[in-house]
Amino acid sequence: MLANTNLLVDYRFGFNGQEKDNEIKGIGNSLSYKFRMQDVRLGRFFAVDPLTKKYPWYTPYQVAGNTPIKYVELEGLEPANNPKDATKQDGRNPTGVINTIYKESGGEDNYKNNFSRYSKGTYSSSTSITGSGISNKEGYTSDSKTGAEKGNLWVNSNGALLAEDMKSFDSRDFSNFLLGNMINGQGPENIIYPVNGTVSNYMKGAGIVGDAMNSWYALNKGRDNLVGGIAEFSGDNYMPGAFMSKGMFHPESFVGSATVMITPINSTQVMVQVFNVTSLTSGDLLKDWPGNNPSTSVVRDPNAPKSSNRYGNMSQTYQFTMPINSGRLK
């Protein structure tokens, strides 16, 4: 028995972290889920989920995707499995690697100088990046087929910064900008870089681009009409080499895996688009060890407090043209 029965009144929150509304049905009998209320005695909502039309396979009165122990209800939005503490997962500290590289790039002091410079461009809320990823679900996109659900590697698919080309570009400052956005949960979630621009061209010689082009040549070998393709490619085997030869701040050194889309422009050129999700999982150096699962990454929630979006996923799209070696198509 509680020594102080006033705790029932004083403690404001109930199941699933939702706030009590004691004025409606008595102390502890009603929970406010922002867009609808729940009677905890019946285990039912007073109203249907605002997004019920999007999810006809759910009862209109479900909570947290019918998995209230695993997920937290996001006030009528989709269920999320973001970690409560991103820095402590499975006894590992995936943020340690990210923080170390960030510090080497100049840390917060340098980030303040780089933010406005590398954020230049036009933000378009109508731009969708759904076609850039290889995995999609309602409102979200990922560059991974196998890791999207396992590691929570999603980004919101609508809205992107159409970045300006940067003639004056420093890879250390660029890395500092991306890492600062990720750590602080701010800045553009999705960035699309100009075709054949300074940033995009840094990825032309990437190992995953070579693998993607090899696959494209194999797909089109002997064809009269060239076709495009999209697939996920792993950069894990190339990252150590890029780190050593190109430097720790080279864009390729950050790409563990990515979706590469190749589209023929004409008989002599193709358009290559590399879509990469920068995530907390990328900093988990033990994720590929036998028996280890990847750390759970953080999906940004624009309706959540800024602190909830720390170490949040971001995406970058690099675009450039490449010549076609007609001899490889015969």
Give whole-number Cα distances, 9 to 22, 33, 147, 313, in Å.
Answer: 8, 18, 44, 39
pLDDT value of position 5: 43
Q: Tell me the per-residue pLDDT of 66-77, one tens digit each, with 9 for 90 and over.
A: 666 555 555 544
Q: How far apart are the first and last CA of the chain?
A: 82
Question: Residues 300-310: what's their mean pLDDT?
Answer: 85
Query: Do residues 58 and 189 share a domain?
Result: no
Average pLDDT over residues 304-323: 92
Tell me the average pLDDT across 101-109: 94
> For residue 6, what pLDDT is reported?
47
- Assess whether 124 and 264 both reside in one domain: yes
- Residue 90 has what pLDDT? 76
Would you say residue 214 lies in a domain?
yes
Q: Is residue 85 part of a domain?
A: no
Nearest to 298 by CA among 191, 186, 193, 192: 186
The answer to whether 263 and 274 have CB atoms below 8 angstroms apart is no
Q: What is the pLDDT of residue 237?
A: 76
Q: Which of 51, 66, 81 delimits the end of a domain?
A: 66
Whether residue 185 sits in one domain with residue 235: yes
Number of domains observed in the structure of the chain = 2
Query: 81 lies in a domain?
Result: no
* 168 within some domain: yes
Same domain, 119 and 217: yes
- Shared domain check, 137 and 22: no
Q: Where are the alpha helices (DSSP H) in the chain?
A: 7-10, 22-25, 94-104, 107-118, 147-151, 171-184, 198-201, 207-220, 239-245
Model confidence, pTM: 0.76
Per-residue pLDDT, 51? 63
Instruction: Name the nearest CA neighbour of 251 among 142, 107, 108, 105.
Output: 105
User: Averaged over 84-90, what is the pLDDT?
Assistant: 84
Residue 85, number of CB atoms within 10 A of its CB: 7
Out of 75-84, 157-166, 176-185, 216-225, which region has the weakest mean confidence (pLDDT)?
75-84
Give yes or no: residues 32 and 152 share one domain: no
Q: Average pLDDT, whole number, for the chain?
A: 83
Which of 49, 66, 83 terminates a domain? The answer is 66
Tell me: do 167 and 313 sit in the same domain: yes
Asked which of 18-27, 107-116, 144-153, 259-268 is least confident by mean pLDDT, the reply is 18-27
Kindly state whether residue 110 falls inside one of the protein's structural domains: yes
Whole-Å CA distances, 214 to 76, 143, 221:
45, 19, 10
pLDDT of 152 > 80? The answer is: yes
Higher pLDDT, 281 or 7: 281
Q: Read off the pLDDT band of 64 (50, 70, 90).
A: low
Top-ranked range on mean pLDDT: pick from 40-49, 164-173, 205-214, 242-251: 205-214
Nearest-angstrom CA–CA distance, 173 and 316: 16
Section 301-317 average pLDDT: 89
Structural domain containing residue 23: 7-66
What the block records as the tokens of 246 is 């190109």
Both 41 and 135 in one domain: the answer is no
Q: What is the mean pLDDT of residues 114-136?
A: 94
Quote the pLDDT of residue 22.
61
pLDDT confidence band for 328 (50 / 70 / 90): very high
Sign of CA dihedral 273, 278, 282, 288: negative
pLDDT recorded at residue 84: 84
Residue 260 in this model has a pLDDT that exceeds 80: yes
In this structure, is residue 98 part of a structural domain? yes
